[in-house]
Structures are given as structure tokens and as C-alpha cells.
A and B are shown apart, each in its own frame.
Chain A
Amino acid sequence: MERDQTATEEPGSAEPEGMDYESALAALDLVLVSLEDGQVPLEQAMGLYERGVRLVRRCSGLLDGAERRVTELTAGGDGLPRERPLVLDSDEEGGSADG
């Protein structure tokens, strides 16, 4: 197997803290496979486990964001979007666009 000088883009070596959810999850799967294989030497296994823990933490951190608001976009004078909180129409009219 080619071992990675050029692997900074791969999920196998990047820092978990900068990853998006998908990459972090893919990296976690790599760790799991290596660890479950049981063929890695002690020092590497420790490193893998530690990395796995960081990846889990990264993923759950991404899932644990605060509940987000709904805003309305309007065009400013410069044509750039402005945002302001949006209050939805009351749901009492009922019905669904899917109906």
C-alpha cells in the first residue's frame, strides 16, 4: 500500500476539528476498521483510538448546534442580501402544499 505523504486531503490524516460531518464520519470508519482488524501495534492503536474519540467528538459537536432561527432575505440598496427575523403565517389555515 502507498503510505501517505500526500494524504492531507484524505479523511485518514486530517485534523478532526476542521472536518465537516461527512469527512469526519468517513475518517471514523477508517479508524474503526483498523482498530477492529487488531493487527496494529500498541502505539498506533493508542493513536487510532485517540483519533477516533476526537472524531466522535467532532461529529457530535456538529450535531449539537443550537436550534436555529428563520430569517427573511431582502435585497438591500446595494443589491446584497439583508436578513431579518421571519414570523411565519399562522398555521391555523391548515393545509399543506403537498396535498
Chain B
Amino acid sequence: MRVLQVGELASLIKAALVAEPELQDAYVEAELGDCHLSSAGHWYFNLKDCRPGGTDRSVLRAAMFRKEARTLQFEPRTGMRVLAHGSVSIYPAAGSLQIYLDRLEPQGVGALALAFQQLVARLEQEGLFAPERKRPLPFLPRRLAVVTSRHGAALRDVVHVVQRRCPITEIVVAPTLVQGDDAVREILAALELAGRAAVDVVLLVRGGGSLEDLQAFNSEAVARAIIACPFPVVVGVGHETDTSVADFVADRRAPTPSVAAELAVPDLAGLRVDLSRRSLRLRRGGEAWVAGERRQLVATEGRLSRLAPALRLATGRIDLDLRQVRLAQAVRRLLSRERTGLGARLGLLQAQGPGRRLLQAREEFAGRVGRLEALSPLAVLGRGYSITVDDADARVLRDASEVRLGTTLRTRLQRGQLLSQVSEVRPESEGGSNGA
């Protein structure tokens, strides 16, 4: 008997395992235990026997390397029942028998459903479904982006609804695949594009489908892209059963693309009716205000007329008319008086003029000359009077008794003088008052 080295024994075991087809293509039903993800991306588990009642539960080490682990649709957890597929081999360095898995699917619940549940739970924990995170939709969007298949009925439905309800809203379409392997990548690109095109709201829609068809809408990347979109996002994915992750993170969710469109744009006809109602109210409000004021005015007038009888009001009005007439007359009088006064002043002004004054001065001068002449004794002589003086002393004789006989008298006539001698004196008693 040959003594083997450990390595040789391990190699023999490995060869024996590899030679056994059932071990190289093994399906095993098990319960996961001790799940561990290495930093390199490899999964390590224990596969435990899950037959009920067995006291001697078998345990087998299992590994799933990064390359295969990438296809996992769910996160392996302890206690989970799985159907695993792989090949059995020995890991010589640890001396352990392992099954190297290339497929792992949850039992009972489908892998997709489980992945969905897990993603939902995680995002919910992050608070991404919180109502306060939801952005309000614009009331009247000017531009709306639709992220959907270029060829699906979903796009037609959205365009129809928007153009029927609100034709003034511009629609920009960001085309994308909505199912298949490239769907996630394309949806991300389309959302990014819509986010850069100045729009007011984004619709992410597709028609109905099975859970498998809607995978893209359950992807974490799409969920995060919806949240990162700078504009509010309405998700409208038609589906028969469950809600998608996209629905949960959407700012608004709708059961179908058409409903998403209805949520996104208002019904313009309804708005117009609404506005014209308000317009009417405004006019009525204005009228009501005026009517109120008028009522008050009428009431005031009523009080006024109770205080002063109608007749008095009428008389008052006549008085007022008369006063108006008087006022007009007064004004006219005032004006004409002013005018007259002005004329008089003009006359006065002319009277004060230099020519007039010269004439006046001349007249005055003539008057004075006349008066002077009238006072002159010579003028008296001219009228036939004469003056008699005593020739000796030139004394003017006024009383006959003052003159003696024989006195020489000198008598002055208008022209020339007479010398004569007194031959008789007759005092007052004899003759009149006439002098000579």
C-alpha cells in the first residue's frame, strides 16, 4: 500500500469529483447561512439542509465568485431558501469541500420580486419615498418632456391628452428603449437629456407589461435618476399588478401614461370657464361696490330732503339761479366800470399833456392882463373920468372944501393935462357927490 502525501490525496479527491457528472452540474435546494460578501466581490455562504425535522442537518460550504455574483438579482441573506446550481470541488489550501455556484435563485418568491422588495426597503429607509421630498407639479407647464419609447402607444396617448387638454404646452420627446438589456442605460440618458432641456415637468411613461418587462423601472439607477432630475417627474407605467420602484420615487405617480399626462397639464377649457367666472365676479364686485355707494348716496339725499322741503329746495334753486344772474351782471358792471374809469383816466392823461397846458397858460395870461388893465387908473380915465390934484403939492383932491379960491389945479385926462384956477368953492351941501 502506497502512502500518499496530502496534496496527492487532495488531487485524487478533486479528480474523482470532476469525474462525477452529477457533482459538476448539481442543483441543490438549501437554506442560506453565514452569508458573507468579500471586498473582492465574492459571495461565501453555508448551504444548509432544509428538509423539515432532520436533526442531523448537513452543511456544505458554497462560494459564488464575482463574475457570477454580478448576475444576482437579489442580495443573499441568511435564512433565505434558495435553489443553487454549481460544481463541487475541493479547495486544497483549506482542505474544504465546496460547491462553486454559478446560479442562485430564491425559492418561494421569484428573484425579481425579491430584488424589488429589497430595493424598495432600502430606498424607503433612505427616505427617498418621503412625501415631503415630492416636488409639486407646475400648474400650467409651458414645456413638458416625455421620456418613453419613440414608437409606443404610450407616447401617442400622452401627446393626445396634452394636445386635447392644454394645446399651449409644448411637448419634447426624449426617446428611449423601455425594456430589454439596454433599457436602463437608455432611460438614464433620456432623463439626463430631459433634465438639460429647459422644461417644466418630465413624464416617464410606458405601457403595461409583466414584472419582467418593467425591470428597468425597478432599477435603482433609474430611481436615483428620477430623484436627481431637476424638474418634477410624473411616472406613468401601466402595470397589472404591483407598483414599480420608479412609481415610489416619482413626484407624482399615475396608473397609465394618459393619466400621467392628465396630472401634468390642466384642462384649458376648464381654466377658461373658471377665469371667466372670476372675471364676472370682478365686474359684479365693482358693480356691487358702486351700487352700495349709490344706495348710501340715495339714503343721504333722502335725509337731506326730509330736512329741507322740496319747495325750499326749488326756491333755493331759483335763488341760486338769480344769484348766478346777479353775479354775471355784477361782473359785467365791474368790467364796464373799469372800462369807463379807464377812459376817464385816458382823458385826464391827455389833459395833463404839454400842449393843453400851454394853451391853458396862455388863456390864464390873457385873463390876468385884462384884470390888470381894468385896475389901471388910465383905463378909468379912458371911460371919461379924470383926476384932479393940487398943482402945488400934487395932492389928489377928493373934497371941495379942502381947496381954497385961487389954487392952481392940475387935471389929468386920458390924454393930456389941464391947469386951471379955482374961481368958486361949493362944499358938499350944494352940489352932488360928483367931484369936479
Pair A20/B140 contact, Cβ less than 8 Å: yes
Is B173 an interface residue when CB atoms closer than 8 A count as contact? Answer: yes
- When distances are taken between beta carbons in the complex, the residues of chain A under 8 Å from B152 are 97
Pair A96/B258 contact, Cβ less than 8 Å: yes
- When distances are taken between beta carbons in the complex, the residues of chain A under 8 Å from B173 are 70-73, 86
Report the minimum CB–CB distance from B164 to chain A (whole Å): 11
Pair A49/B282 contact, Cβ less than 8 Å: yes
- When distances are taken between beta carbons in the complex, the residues of chain A under 8 Å from B286 are 35, 45, 49, 52
Q: A36-B281, A73-B145, A81-B197 are in contact. Are A97 and B258 (CB under 8 A)?
A: yes
Is A75 an interface residue when CB atoms closer than 8 A count as contact? Answer: yes
Report the minimum CB–CB distance from A22 to chain B (whole Å): 4
Report the minimum CB–CB distance from B251 to chain A (whole Å): 17
Give the contact stretch, choosing among A1-9, A10-18, A58-66: A58-66
A68 to B154, CA, bound (A): 19
Report the minimum CB–CB distance from A89 to chain B (whole Å): 6
Pair A97/B145 contact, Cβ less than 8 Å: no
Q: A70-B171, A71-B173, A88-B159 are in contact. Are A29 and B205 (CB under 8 A)?
A: no
A67 to B155, CA, bound (A): 18
Give the contact stretch, choosing among B13-21, B39-47, B225-233, B287-295: B287-295
Pair A53/B206 contact, Cβ less than 8 Å: no
Contact among B169, B172, B275, B288 for A71, CB-based, below 8 A: B172
Pair B282/A56 contact, Cβ less than 8 Å: yes
Report the minimum CB–CB distance from A23 to chain B (whole Å): 9
Pair A98/B258 contact, Cβ less than 8 Å: yes
Is B106 an interface residue when CB atoms closer than 8 A count as contact? Answer: no
The binding surface of chain B is classed by DSSP as helix
Pair A63/B278 contact, Cβ less than 8 Å: no
A16 to B224, CA, bound (A): 38
A21 to B3, CA, bound (A): 93
Pair A56/B238 contact, Cβ less than 8 Å: no
Contact among A21, A66, A95 for B153, CB-based, below 8 A: A95
Pair A97/B172 contact, Cβ less than 8 Å: no
Q: A72-B175, A73-B145, A96-B258 are in contact. Are A62 and B140 (CB under 8 A)?
A: yes
Pair A99/B208 contact, Cβ less than 8 Å: yes
Is B59 an interface residue when CB atoms closer than 8 A count as contact? Answer: no
Is B174 an interface residue when CB atoms closer than 8 A count as contact? Answer: yes
- When distances are taken between beta carbons in the complex, the residues of chain A under 8 Å from B206 are 97
Is B156 an interface residue when CB atoms closer than 8 A count as contact? Answer: yes
Is B168 an interface residue when CB atoms closer than 8 A count as contact? Answer: yes
Q: A70-B171, A73-B194 are in contact. Are A96 and B157 (CB under 8 A)?
A: yes
A35 to B167, CA, bound (A): 34
Closest to A86 in B: B173
- When distances are taken between beta carbons in the complex, the residues of chain A under 8 Å from B171 are 68-71
Is B151 an interface residue when CB atoms closer than 8 A count as contact? Answer: yes
Report the minimum CB–CB distance from B177 to chain A (whole Å): 15
Is B340 an interface residue when CB atoms closer than 8 A count as contact? Answer: no
Report the minimum CB–CB distance from B364 to chain A (whole Å): 77
Pair A72/B172 contact, Cβ less than 8 Å: yes
A59 to B272, CA, bound (A): 9
Pair B275/A80 contact, Cβ less than 8 Å: no
Is B244 an interface residue when CB atoms closer than 8 A count as contact? Answer: no
Pair A28/B139 contact, Cβ less than 8 Å: no
Pair A97/B285 contact, Cβ less than 8 Å: no
Pair A35/B256 contact, Cβ less than 8 Å: no
- When distances are taken between beta carbons in the complex, the residues of chain A under 8 Å from B282 are 28, 31-32, 35, 49, 52-53, 56
- When distances are taken between beta carbons in the complex, the residues of chain A under 8 Å from B205 are 97
Closest to B257 in A: A97
- When distances are taken between beta carbons in the complex, the residues of chain A under 8 Å from B153 are 93, 95-97, 99
Is B300 an interface residue when CB atoms closer than 8 A count as contact? Answer: no
Is B33 an interface residue when CB atoms closer than 8 A count as contact? Answer: no
B: residues with CB less than 8 A from A are 138-140, 142, 145, 150-157, 159, 163, 167-175, 189-190, 193-194, 196-197, 205-208, 238, 256-259, 268, 271-272, 275, 278-279, 281-282, 284-286, 288-289, 292-293
Apart from A49-B282, A63-B271, A81-B196, 16 more pairs, CB < 8 Å: A21-B140, A25-B278, A35-B282, A35-B286, A38-B289, A49-B285, A52-B282, A67-B168, A70-B170, A70-B172, A73-B193, A75-B189, A89-B155, A97-B152, A97-B153, A98-B208
**25 contacting pairs across A/B (C-beta < 8 A):** A35-B285, A35-B289, A45-B286, A49-B286, A62-B140, A63-B271, A63-B272, A69-B170, A69-B171, A70-B159, A70-B170, A70-B172, A72-B173, A73-B173, A74-B193, A80-B196, A81-B174, A81-B197, A89-B155, A89-B156, A95-B153, A96-B156, A97-B154, A98-B208, A98-B259
Q: Which 4 A-B pairs have the closest CB atoms?
A: A97-B207, A35-B285, A65-B168, A97-B154
